[in-house]
Amino acid sequence: MLAAVLFGELHKRAVFARLGGELNDVDARAAAVGALDATDFVGRGVARFVAVGQEENHVGAQPQRDVERGHGIAGNSDAAKSAIRAVHPFPQLSHHGRILADQQVDEALRVGGVGVDDVGHFDVYSCFGSSVNFARDALGLRDDDDRLLTVTGGLPYHGGAGSDYMTHSIATMADVLRNDPGSYGLLSGVGMHMTKHVYGLYSTEPGIVGPPDREGVQAKLDAAGKRAIRDVYDGAGTVAAYSVVHGRDGGPEWGVVVCDLPEGDRAYGKVLDDDMLSSIERDELVGRKVTLTPTEAETAAGKQTVNVATL
């Protein structure tokens, strides 16, 4: 989908659509998987121009083409290609991913006075597939929802990770909304390690502009609580999430698990057993019990104690 959108945009570069079969071909997998992540070697130059209210008339802006509604959940100001009206600043809030993303989406739509079903265009931050899934879950989008999730082609094809990608997504969304007057466009962005989530709602139709409820959102996040992370743990835990790292030959090399502990804390574990690595790629591990055993091992940071996970 990301590649298909890019081919229809002016921001083309030398890419080609990846067929699903390539991901099952060991020889092609490394290149294919690389094309599914953000392309950070593509430099993107950016110039911002912001005009507010009556000042637009002095710079030759066309009111009928302005993107007039900008309800920003984070950031100080945003710019489209000609003029874009007031965007409220809202400091980014750090908290664990899904809860934060849910709250940010809800507040963006509440301030904008619309529901997710009213949004005609999306551009969700796509540094990795997990970022897209975070946004889909927070927005409550079903698998059969046919609305596209990008207007630029996304980070794997448009590029710009670390190069102000969202300025480009906002500018592109402004063009999309000008060509579809009265519709709504919603954009998202994330911070490193998915600890920050931001959403902005835009439209050509002016609406009531009010500041987001910063204190209310933060109170809901604080009420959700936080889990302490145990560096070293000896005992059983329930897997909350896991991933398997592969080598260039396509085979699994090691895995990492995030475990819920009986005390309510969490701990990381490292999977090293070859049979276990193969089995957890075939059979779902989330929700199952594993045993964590503190073990001294050589790591990139030198010799350290790691929690080795076994079934």
pLDDT of residue 18: 46
pLDDT of residue 71: 44
pLDDT of residue 107: 83
pLDDT: which is higher, 191 or 57: 191
pLDDT of residue 195: 74
pLDDT of residue 284: 96
88, 71 contact by CB (below 8 A): yes
Phi and psi of 172, rounded to 5°? -65, -40
Beta bridge partners of 301: none
> In the chain, what percentage of residues exceed pLDDT 90?
34
Q: How far is CA 288 from CA 14, 35, 75, 233, 241, in A?
A: 44, 32, 40, 17, 10
Q: How far is CA 303 from CA 46, 136, 204, 306, in A?
A: 44, 40, 58, 9
Q: Would you state the CATH architecture of domain 229-310?
A: Beta Barrel (2.40)
Give the pLDDT mean for 95-124. Answer: 81
2-223 CATH pick, 3.40.47.10, 1.10.390.10, 3.40.50.150, 3.30.360.10: 3.40.47.10
Check pLDDT > 50 for residue 311. yes
205, 256 contact by CB (below 8 A): no
The predicted model scores a pTM of 0.72
* CB-count burial class (<10 Å; 0-12, 13-18, 19+) for 38: buried
203, 67 contact by CB (below 8 A): yes
Give the pLDDT mean for 130-144. Answer: 90
pLDDT of residue 53: 55
pLDDT of residue 93: 33
pLDDT of residue 25: 54
* Sheet hosting strand 197-203, strand order edge to edge: 69-72, 197-203, 184-190, 121-123
Q: How far is CA 114 from CA 85, 137, 195, 211, 217, in A?
A: 18, 18, 26, 15, 18
pLDDT of residue 250: 86
What digits encode the pLDDT tens for the residues 226-254? 788 999 999 999 999 999 999 988 899 99
Check pLDDT > 70 for residue 201. yes
pLDDT of residue 168: 87
Q: Evaluate whether 2-223 and 229-310 have a shared fold.
A: no
pLDDT of residue 271: 97
pLDDT: which is higher, 82 or 108: 108
pLDDT: which is higher, 239 or 98: 239
Give the pLDDT mean for 2-25. Answer: 48
Q: Which token pair is 216?
A: 């209310």
pLDDT band for position 149 (cuts 50, 70, 90): very high
Q: What is the mean pLDDT of the chain?
A: 75
pLDDT band for position 45 (cuts 50, 70, 90): low
Alpha helices (H) in the chain, listed in sequence order: 2-7, 26-34, 55-58, 97-112, 129-139, 155-158, 165-178, 214-223, 274-282
Check pLDDT > 80 for residue 94. no
What digits encode the pLDDT tens for the residues 253-309? 999 999 999 999 999 999 999 999 999 999 999 999 999 999 998 888 889 999 999
Domain range annotation of the chain: 2-223, 229-310
Q: Mean pLDDT lowest for which of 63-72, 117-126, 272-281? A: 63-72
pLDDT: which is higher, 40 or 258: 258
Type of residue numbered 282? R
pLDDT band for position 82 (cuts 50, 70, 90): very low
pLDDT: which is higher, 68 or 150: 150
Residue with tokens 């906002």: 170
pLDDT of residue 61: 52
CB proximity list for 14: less than 8 A, separation 6 or greater: none
